[in-house]
Amino acid sequence: MSGHVKIYPFAKAMHDLNDAEISCWYVLNHINGSAHNKAQITVDQFNRANNANLELFAPTYVVREEKSGELHFRTASLTFHYVFVKGPFETVKKLCGQTNGFSFLIDRSNERRYATIDDRRMTHFRNIARAYKNCLPYFSLEDIDLEDGDLVEVIKGDMPGLIGHYMPNPRSKTGNIVLHVFNKVGTIAFNVKASDVRVLEFSRNSTRANDQIDAFVPHLFKALRNYHQGEILSKPLAAKLNLFCGRMEVAHLSNRKLDARLHILLHAANLIIGNQPAARHALDRFNKLKDAVTNVWTSATNALILSLLRNDIDTLKAEYQKIAALAPASKAQQSIKEEFEYYLHAL
C-alpha cells in the first residue's frame, strides 16, 4: 500500500481555505503620508470597515552614533518603507488592494511569493523594540559579517529567549546581539552581558570555545579539590561553575576533540553543583566522543577528572605514569601534573 495521501478536490479546497485563514506576519511596503502614524490610522480604519483584526508593527528606526565620546541617535534615512502586518492572507491582500500606500514585498525565494517573518523571530524583534521604546537600532546586514559572531540565546535580563549572533565588545564583559530580521535588514540589542547568554553554536573558525574551556579548567580543578575533601564550594566558585554550565551546555562544536573536552568539564561541573540529569547527559556525550581525543595531556586531564569523581585511585596512579616522565611545555600542562601529584601525595 502506498504511503502517499491523495487530496481530493473538496479536501484540497478545505486545505487551501484553512491555509488562507492562518494569520501570518507579512512584510509590506508602505509609502508614508505626512502623519508619522499614518500606517496605524489606515489599518485601524480598515479593521473597522471590514470587521477585521489586522495587527500592525511599524517601529521607528534610528542609527546609533558616537561623536566625541558621546552617544547620539538619529533617524535612519532608509531606502525602503517596510512595515509588518499580521493577518490572514486574503485580508492582507484586500488591504494592499486599496489605494492606501500598502503593497506586498515580493520574495521570490518564498513558496508563498510574499515576504513573511515567522512568529518566533517577530517576537524577538518586538522584544528588542519594546526595550528601545519602539525606536529600533537599524543597520544593514551588509555592514557586518554574522559568521564572526557566536549564535547565542539570552537566558536572563531584559530579553530572555532572544536568539541572535553575539558580537563581543572589546575589553568588556558585554556584547551586542544581532537579530537578522529578513533579507538584508537587522537590528541590534546593545550591551548584553556575556553572563546573560548561553552559546548555541560557536562562530566558524572561532577560537573562543577553546579559550573559554582553557579558562575554566583551573576553576574546575579548585572545585574538584573541594569536592574530594567534602567541602562546600565558595559562592564565587559555585557561581563560576553555574555560569559555565549555563553558557555552554547546549553549545554545538564541530570539532569532536574539543567537544569531548567540553563535555567532560560539563559532566564534572554539573555533578559537583548537584545537577545529576545534566551530568549524566554530558557524560553520555563524552563517552561517544572520547575516542577522538589523542593528546596525552588532554587524555590525562579526562582521566584525572573521572578518577576523582569515582574515587578510583588505581586509575589515578596508572594515568599519572603516562605523563610522569614528560616535561610540561606550558603552564596548563604543568598544572595538570601538579593536580595528579597533589592527590597522589595525599594518599
Q: Is the dihedral angle over the CA atoms 322, 325, 331, 336 positive or is it negative?
A: positive
Any residues with CB less than 8 A from the CB of 204 and at least 6 apart, and which?
147
What DSSP letter does each residue of 1-17 carry, written as one string? --------HHHHHHHHH
Buried b (16+ CB within 10 A) or exposed e, 293-317: beeebbbbbbbbbbbbbeeeeeebe
CATH 2.30.30 location in the chain = 119-205
Residue 104 CA to chain centroid, in angstroms?
A: 31
The pLDDT score that the predictor gives to residue 39 is 85
Cβ neighbourhood burial of 74 (10 Å; 0-12, 13-18, 19+): exposed
Residues paired with residue 166 on neighbouring β-strands, in sequence order: 150, 177
Q: What is the CATH number of domain 22-60+77-117?
A: 3.30.70.940
Q: Which class is 119-205 in CATH? A: mainly beta
pLDDT single digits (tens) 55-87:
998 877 666 566 777 766 666 544 457 788 999
- Of 193, 190, 210, 191, nearest to 251 (Cα)? 210
pLDDT single digits (tens) 285-332:
999 999 999 999 999 999 999 999 999 999 999 999 999 999 999 999
CATH 1.25.40 location in the chain = 207-345
Going by pLDDT thresholds of 50, 70 and 90, the confidence category of residue 159 is confident
Percent of the chain with pLDDT over 70: 76
CATH 3.30.70.940 location in the chain = 22-60+77-117
Q: What is the CATH number of domain 207-345?
A: 1.25.40
Cβ neighbourhood burial of 29 (10 Å; 0-12, 13-18, 19+): middle
Instruction: With beta carbons less than 8 A apart as the criterion, state whether 300 and 336 touch.
Output: yes
pLDDT single digits (tens) 29-57:
887 665 556 888 999 999 999 999 999 98
What DSSP letter does each residue of 293-313 carry, written as one string? ---HHHHHHHHHHHHHHTT-H
Record the pTM. 0.57
Residue 222 CA to chain centroid, in angstroms?
A: 29
Going by pLDDT thresholds of 50, 70 and 90, the confidence category of residue 125 is confident
| Total count of residues recorded for the chain | 347
- Strand bridging mode 82-88 / 135-140: unpaired
